Amino acid sequence: MNRPNHAASDGRRRRNDWIFILSLLLVVSLAGLALFFLRGVGDTVIVTVDGVIYGTYPLDRDITVEIRTGDEEQNRNVLVIREGKARVEEATCPDGICAAHKPISREGESIVCLPHRVVITVHAENGDQEPDIIA
Amino acid sequence: MRHTSRKLAYLGLCTAVALILAYVEVLLPPLYSAVPGIKLGLSNIAIIFVLYRYGVRHAAVVSFVRIAVVSILFGNPMTFAYSAAGAALSLLVMAILRRMDVLSTVGVSVAGGVFHNVGQILMAMWLLGTAELGYYLIVLAITGTVSGIFVGLCGGMAVKRIPMRNI
Ligand SMILES: [Zn+2]
């Protein structure tokens, strides 16, 4: 079946594709930039398991935490905080995605281990990141 | 009657192709593992083909069987929840856009890829009880767009080149 206007409408669709894709990328980049600049460096790492807080750790103190989860505590994620950044050094999860994640330090950044239902998020507990002159 | 069983056979074939593509993707994760959920979404090629050739209901069935089998073979109940949320939202958006007929398969597939990630992240926010996944969405929207272009080109070619009388 050859419609006479086939080629023309194909061209129009392709043009719309580009408009759609470029505006999508623009919006996403703007949102990304906004997220990046509006949110400063965090100071606290909060670990939740199944949405329940497992532990809270300051970013400025180097520490290694073994997060044990699961019915028989068989799941393991090793959280390492060093030089103001948090990362998962090793994990027993099947996908290993959390351990491959880059270190996080900015407010709102998180490392998620889906199989173990562990979320590690950076927060800014003490409000502003500006040095507190008054105190 | 003959027509129906023929169609059923072809839909089974499409499901098999979707599964093979999903398996190919399981074989090459290391490149994309920095953030959970970054995927090429190769099996969406088959879903797009079914959507354009047979309509949204058949595409939903193929998509569901694909996710169920992939979760049984390579995943767990959690994987199923994420994939199902992503696939359902993705297919819904693609079906609406297809009906509007303003984009080619490339644009439709990009929207499908991005909304697949949106669905997964919403499900993750709900299951993990956290709202702090905004960063992931940004990263996944960009990777979803890039892979969506590739998938849409392949899907479009399949729709155009596999003749109607054959399938
Ligand atoms: Zn993990």
Tell me the per-residue pLDDT of B70-90, one tens digit each, with 9 for 90 and over: 888 877 777 788 889 999 999
CB B149 within 8 A of CB B106: yes
Q: How far is A62 from chain B (nearest CA, A)?
A: 23
- By Cβ distance, the residue of A17, A28, A96 closest to B138 is A28
Alpha-carbon distance A30 to B135, whole Å? Answer: 12
Could you tell me the two tokens for A122?
């950076």
Report CB contact under 8 Å: A119, B78. Answer: no
- By Cβ distance, the residue of B104, B124, B132 closest to A13 is B104
Q: Give the dihedral sign, CA A13/A15/A21/A26.
A: negative
Residues 79-98 of B with CB under 8 A from A: 79, 82
DSSP 8-class letter at A115: T
Angle at A19 between CA B99 and CA B96, to 5 degrees: 15
- By Cβ distance, the residue of B76, B107, B114 closest to A17 is B107
* A interface with B, Cβ–Cβ below 8 Å: 10, 13-14, 16-17, 20-21, 24-25, 28-29, 31-32, 35, 48, 50-52, 95-98, 100-102, 108-110, 112, 114-115, 117, 119, 121
| Phi–psi pair at A47, nearest 5 degrees | -105, 125
SS3 B40: coil
Report CB contact under 8 Å: B124, A114. Answer: yes
CB B95 within 8 A of CB A13: no
Q: Which of A63-77, B12-26, B75-89, B100-114 has the weakest average pLDDT?
A: B75-89
pLDDT tier for residue B55 given thresholds of 50, 70 and 90:
very high
CB B114 within 8 A of CB A24: yes
pTM for the model stands at: 0.79
Q: Tell me, what's the pLDDT at A129?
A: 46
Report CB contact under 8 Å: B138, A32. Answer: yes
Which structural domain, as residue segments, surrounds residue B39? 2-166
| Phi–psi pair at A82, nearest 5 degrees | -150, 135
pLDDT tier for residue B35 given thresholds of 50, 70 and 90:
low
SS (H, E, C) A47-77: EEECCEEEEEEECCCCEEEEEEECCCCCEEE
Q: How far is A132 from chain B (nearest CA, A)?
A: 26
Q: Which of A27-31, A87-91, B36-40 has the weakest average pLDDT?
A: B36-40
The full DSSP string for B93-133 is: HHHHHHHHT-S-HHHHHHHHHHHHHHHHHHHHHHHHT----
Note the pLDDT tens digit of each residue in A41-100: 889 999 999 889 999 999 999 999 999 999 899 999 999 999 999 999 999 988 788 888
DSSP 8-class letter at A106: B
Domain covering A44-125 in this structure, CATH number = 2.60.320.10
Query: Taking CA atoms, what residue in B is nearest to A104?
Result: B135
Q: How far is A20 from chain B (nearest CA, A)?
A: 7
Residues 142-161 of B with CB under 8 A from A: 142, 145, 149
CA of A97 to the centre of ligand 1 (A): 5
Residue B5 above 60 pLDDT?
yes
Q: Which of B142, B162, B154, B71 is nearest to B109 (CA)?
A: B154
Give the count of domains, chain B.
1
Alpha-carbon distance A54 to A116, whole Å? Answer: 13
CB B56 within 8 A of CB B38: no
CA B74 from chain center: how many Å? 17
- Report the CATH number at residue B119: 1.10.1760.20
Report CB contact under 8 Å: A112, B134. Answer: no
| Phi–psi pair at A131, nearest 5 degrees | -60, 135
Report CB contact under 8 Å: B34, A102. Answer: yes
Q: How far is B109 from chain A (nearest CA, A)?
A: 10
Report CB contact under 8 Å: B107, A21. Answer: yes
